[in-house]
Amino acid sequence: MEEEILEKYKKAGKIASEVREASRKLLNVGVPLLDIAEKIEAMIREKGGEPAFPANLSLNDIAAHYTPVKKDETRIPEGAILKVDLGVHMDGYVADTAYTVSFSDDYAGLVDASKSALENILELCTPGRKLADISAKIQETIEGAGYKPVSNLTGHGLQQYFLHADPHVPNVRFSSDYTLSEGQAIAIEPFATEGEGRIKETEPALIYMMLAGKPVRNPDARLIMQFASRFNGLPFAERWIPIESTFKIRMAVRELKEKGVLYGYPPLKEVSKGMVSQAEHTVIVADEPIVTTK
């Protein structure tokens, strides 16, 4: 990896880690998720970065991909478990990090399970390491704590303006001879649950990514397509779209999805409504792995 690119990954990681730690002070029972998301995204910009994706604030059995909507009144409820997933980019080079907070002692072990799984595999991100070894260690750690890894969620590679690149990093054992290479950027994100260990997509999607520009008739759809193009393929939130009416946004988005202009990221829920925890760091593969978001 070129030194200039590595420095951009490191700078994005430094901002992400600072914002992650500062965001902890925002989290209290009764606080609106919308306030938290907007403050996280504002902090990223104030520090000189740009959000690599909307702040994800996923409660309880929602594992990922929930971000507040316009005028969202959802608040952190008593006894909840909240995943905070945030990303920063510098010229498209991304730092992706996440943590989980429990507002009940009942889920302290679940929070620790995903956190321990992450800590146990960071030092394994070295050139020549089999990806299957990392996945096996994640599963071993989570199951050893008495929980299940989420089998159909994975970590992922990172490339410039490409958030979910190869390789994908399963949270369960799998058979593969794929090995890590020097300089790869990877987001490792173990998910643990007290449920069955699988997630399903739910509606509506609140986060989108632009795939390609195409001719559209609806003026709102044209406006959204023009707006989406500024993100160079990185995800954006429905609430960021500069149209006041949610109804108009969703009508236009439906056309854009049908035409293959936009891809939606629906909220992901555990199939048996089991509580879910998440922990995540971004790592550059090296003999001494570089954890940019530490």
Residue 164 annotated in active site:
yes
May I ask the CATH architecture of the domain 207-265?
Answer: Orthogonal Bundle (1.10)
Q: What is the dihedral of CA 144, 147, 149, 151, to 10 degrees?
A: 120
Say how far apart CA 284 and CA 179 lie, in whole Å.
14
Q: Looking at residue 259, what is its pLDDT?
A: 95
Q: What is the pLDDT of residues 124-158, one digit of tens each?
A: 999 999 999 999 999 999 999 999 999 999 999 99
Q: Supply the CATH classification number for the domain 3-201+272-291.
A: 3.90.230.10
Please tell me which residue in 72, 140, 164, 255 is annotated as part of the active site: 164
Please tell me which residue in 65, 89, 156, 281 is annotated as part of the active site: 156
Burial of 177 (0-12, 13-18, 19+ CB in 10 A): exposed
Burial of 107 (0-12, 13-18, 19+ CB in 10 A): buried
Residue 85 annotated in active site:
yes
The ranges assigned to domains in the chain are 3-201+272-291, 207-265
Mean pLDDT for 217-224 is 95
pLDDT higher than 90, residue 1:
no
| Cα-Cα-Cα-Cα dihedral sign, residues 69, 165, 93, 11 | positive
Q: What is the pLDDT of residues 259-269, one digit of tens each?
A: 999 999 999 99
Residue 244 annotated in active site:
no
CA angle, 62 then 64 then 65, to 5°? 110
Residue 46 annotated in active site:
no
Q: Is the pTM of this model over 0.85?
A: yes
